[in-house]
Structure formats: structure tokens, C-alpha cells
Amino acid sequence: MSEQAIPLSQLIKNVHQCINAHAEEVAELDAAIGDGDHLNNLQRGLATLESMSAELDQMPLSDAFSKIGMSLMSTMGGASGSLFGSMFVTMGKTAKDQPLTLVGLSEVFSAGVESIKARGKADIGEKTMLDTLIPASQSLQQDAANGVPLETSLSHMQQSAITGMESTKDMLATKGRASFLGERARGHIDAGARTSQLMLCAIADEVIKYNN
């Protein structure tokens, strides 16, 4: 996504640190309306990726994405493991046919988000991680297509992710445990939407810093 190729190890480390820094908040969000295992599953998946990050740095990006996806499926657990695993496997396949430009990588990200929609049988407006991922992906695709500079594109993507995440607070849920809570789910931000926003913003911050 950058004009210079940032090492995946650097991004993984930064994302892992960001999630750990917000662990208490995420745990409280998930305890309120989720299954209570989102944080542990995510931390386990990120720890696995960090342990293999040197190997990932040596791979073509498409192969690295595929390996990330398979590793998340086998180690992360929960619905998020399946969804993020599917996302990265799809991104790996898509990356084989795309140039490593902002336009190409925005298409790779979009394909990954579409795979989550298909795997989870969900869409925007259902109080899930997609309420963060879809607006972020759409923002990045639009800016990339219009030739918006990298830093501005990533800043727009961050804001779209934040706005999408915050929108889940007043939504009714239709997926997972939260769907059984009805009106009681209102007033709580979805934990998956929050962690997705944290990870996207952490990646964008690191890419912007790397290119300055």
C-alpha cells in the first residue's frame, strides 16, 4: 500500500502492540454483547503471525497473505479466525494478479472484504466488523482510482473506519450472540468493528510513517 514496501513484520508487530494496548476496552466490549473470546482469539492469532514474521518478510506478498490466512484459520479460533483467515487467503489469490500499487492493493483489500461478506453471510449495517471494513475498503478504492496521494488516501481510510466502527453503537445486531439481545445490544460498539478499526488505523499510521 506504500510507495516503499514496508516489511510485513513491522506491520504485524505494530498491530499486535495496538491490540494489546486496547485489550481492556476490547474485552469489555465483547463481554457486553459478544461471546467473550474475541480478544483472546485475536491475540493468539497475532502472536502466531509475529512468531513467523521473519519468514513472511522473505515471501512474495501473495504467498505471505495466503500463509497468514491459513495460519489464522488453524490457530486463531472462533468466528474471527475463519473470517480473517478467509480474507487473507482470498487476498493472497488476488494479489497474484495485481501490481503492488495503491490501486492494486486496494483491489486486493476489497476482495478480502468481499470474502468476509460471503463467508459470514453478512453486510454493512448488521453490527459486525464489516461496518468498519466495508467503508474503509470503499474509501481506499475510491481514492486510489482518483489518484489521491498515499498519505491522504490512508487518512481518509482511517476516518472511514472510525466512522463505521462508531456507527455500530446504535445498531441492532443480526449476527452472533448479540443478535439475541435485541434492543439491549444498542448502546454498545461491536468488538469486532473496534478491533478492525484499531488494526486498520495502526497499519495506516505505520505506512505513513515509513514513507515520510
pLDDT in tens, the chain (212 residues): 334 578 999 999 999 999 999 999 999 999 887 778 899 999 999 999 999 999 999 999 999 999 999 999 999 978 889 999 999 999 999 999 888 899 999 999 999 999 999 999 999 999 999 999 999 999 999 999 999 999 999 999 999 999 999 999 998 777 666 665 667 668 889 999 999 999 999 999 999 999 88
How far apart CA 21 and CA 68 sit, in angstroms, is: 22
DSSP state of 173: P
- CATH architecture designation of domain 8-210: Alpha Horseshoe (1.25)
The ranges assigned to domains in the chain are 8-210
C-beta neighbour count of 60 within 10 angstroms: 12
How far apart CA 206 and CA 80 sit, in angstroms, is: 24
pTM of the model: 0.93
Contact 180, 193 (CB under 8 A): no
What residues contact residue 12 under an 8 Å CB cut-off, 6+ apart? 46, 49, 50, 53, 56
